[in-house]
Structure 1
């Protein structure tokens, strides 16, 4: 390497550091790339280029640079921190946990870092370890709202509802998102006033779930609600439909099963990533991203079949959706959906699972009020949990 190249590499590197500190990560990346071209293998350049790419959320490109950095200089805390973040975002949870542990060994153990480490442990199914890690995060910062919320969620999933409620309440008291965390709190305290589901939570939940949705739901949980909902349509509904709407279409499981019986099939879902998966099936005549209430409020041709498989459990109160559907369905058309039964004495109930349950009497009253006849309603397995059937209610209404 010539002295001139070395000086140019040094100048590019210093420019990169300056722009990185200023928050201009795109410019920093360009400077570091130039420096690395001029001085290949320089550890400081690789490390900072990796950090810049982490800031740009280009985690897959950052990871090998950071690994090469640490192979040469294994005590570089900045590289371990960036590598742990990249691995967490790439869902390489076991590797990320190891990287966080190296950060701790090098003296960095902030509450945020401990909470991220706990997240890795939880995603590996190491729940007791994750709970301890969240508790350690809160020992460092008792007001860390993310740690409080995530620890509360682990307690909720374990059925420890009092501990979950205490965490959610502390998170709210310390400024956590009031809409989402109040929803979590309501689920574990069975409050009389049932909250509306936060759209941002539902959208994020299913966007994150989209890639593995079919394999997990059908392959692991034996989900069959989409199939049985179509197969159990009453004979008087007929074998074929002109226009059908798949509410909360998800990845298109229900749409794929009904496609052969429909001339024109429309799908709507709140989560863009789920709709992208549905689009790959190439079975819908039209697909829309958005809230089902907003979609139904817009003018459109009427439907003679509307399906909602495992959808109303994320909607809550159904007065609005029933009222809107009544304006979008022909006389003699069919509304078919699945729900879970609410506890005795409840009409709409938010369960600790963060799913809503509805009483048969509530559904019957809605049907009558909005011009539907209840043709059929029965309990049957929707999915399986540890090989035990989880029952839901299959409901079939005909528009008067």
Structure 2
């Protein structure tokens, strides 16, 4: 599998997605100085940001956020060795990488792109994002994934002369429950999985799910019975996964014969998977088709679809429906 990093990356975490809120260092003076450092960084005064970050670390040597900021500032100044050292120190202190430091290391060539996004980062990101998730998606990013998926499923069910109804559905990366809301009335039971406990709290409030599970979607699928589901949905979740072949294999296992797997992916013009400038993975069409064939699926729909915007521009992607 070809894996590359987008060569036009510039600012760290250039994305419409907010970063996780940082914990306090425990020292009020250090916290204040850290905010000055962040402000200097935002104003592109990277020398001042690096100097202020070092002052923070003089006060609180094991403050991971200050190491991360120092590394990002040094990277912007072209000081590769210093940047790598500071970023790796942040990882030593925060190995779960709630700060997304691995993304920075991948950008400067110190990690492979496939190692850039971790469960810890995604969990921290969405725990912080949960209170404003739906409003941000719809009002800022123009998110329309669930609606496009429902329309596509309706079309394919009509084409296959089968009812648009499913006895058992699984929602991968369910978030706050937008997919269950869009599909309401078309399933008898639905269960969801997500890394973020706070997103699951919001999904629980919808009272639509028969079961909600916290964890990685591949582990969740591996725990399910063979042939138990009629429908598996993955809406805008594969942007955080470099390797999709294990997911396709597990989905095929848990689906009944004739069951449908519907998902969206972000894409790019080349082959394989890249880590784009928006800190998300984009997959090539040929790779997706290869995974589908290798897992044993029949492709019933594969069409271009933009389900959200990034900085006001439609994000290129695909919507696919596979049949077991």
TM-score, L = length of structure 1: 0.63
Distance 1:397-1:154 versus aligned 2 partners, 3 A rule:
farther
The CA distance in 2 between the partners of 1:363 and 1:398, in whole Å, is: 14
Q: In the alignment, what sits opposite 2:238?
A: 312
Q: How many residues align?
A: 285
- 1:127 pairs with one of 42, 53, 74: 42
RCO comparison, higher one (Cα < 8 Å, 6+): 2
Q: How does 1:195-214 map to 2 (within 5 A)?
A: 195=115, 197-214=117-134
* RMSD, aligned α-carbons: 3.2
Q: Is the 8 A contact 1:326 1:371 kept in 2?
A: yes
Distance 1:385-1:314 versus aligned 2 partners, 3 A rule:
closer
Q: Is the 8 A contact 2:71 2:86 kept in 1?
A: no
Q: In the alignment, what sits opposite 2:256?
A: 330
Q: In the alignment, what sits opposite 1:352?
A: 277
The CA distance in 1 between the partners of 2:84 and 2:136, in whole Å, is: 32
Distance 1:231-1:168 versus aligned 2 partners, 3 A rule:
farther
Q: In the alignment, what sits opposite 2:86?
A: 171
Q: In the alignment, what sits opposite 2:180?
A: 255
The CA distance in 2 between the partners of 1:212 and 1:167, in whole Å, is: 36
The CA distance in 1 between the partners of 2:281 and 2:314, in whole Å, is: 19
The CA distance in 2 between the partners of 1:360 and 1:347, in whole Å, is: 8
Superposition deviation, residue 342 in structure 1: 3.6
* Structure 1 position 299 matched with structure 2 position 224: yes
Superposition deviation, residue 313 in structure 1: 0.9
Indicate the structure (1 or 2) with the bigger Cα radius of gyration: 1
Q: Is the 8 A contact 1:304 1:333 kept in 2?
A: yes
* Structure 1 position 114 matched with structure 2 position 33: yes
Q: Is the 8 A contact 1:114 1:133 kept in 2?
A: no
Q: In the alignment, what sits opposite 1:87?
A: none
- 2:300 pairs with one of 364, 375, 383: 375
| Residue ranges of structure 2 left out of the alignment (5+ in a row) | 1-20
Q: In the alignment, what sits opposite 2:106?
A: 186
* Larger helix percent: 1
The CA distance in 1 between the partners of 2:291 and 2:150, in whole Å, is: 22
* Structure 1 position 286 matched with structure 2 position 217: no
Per mean C-alpha deviation after superposition, the further-off stretch among 284-293 and 188-197 is: 188-197
TM-score, L = length of structure 2: 0.76
Q: In the alignment, what sits opposite 1:222?
A: 142
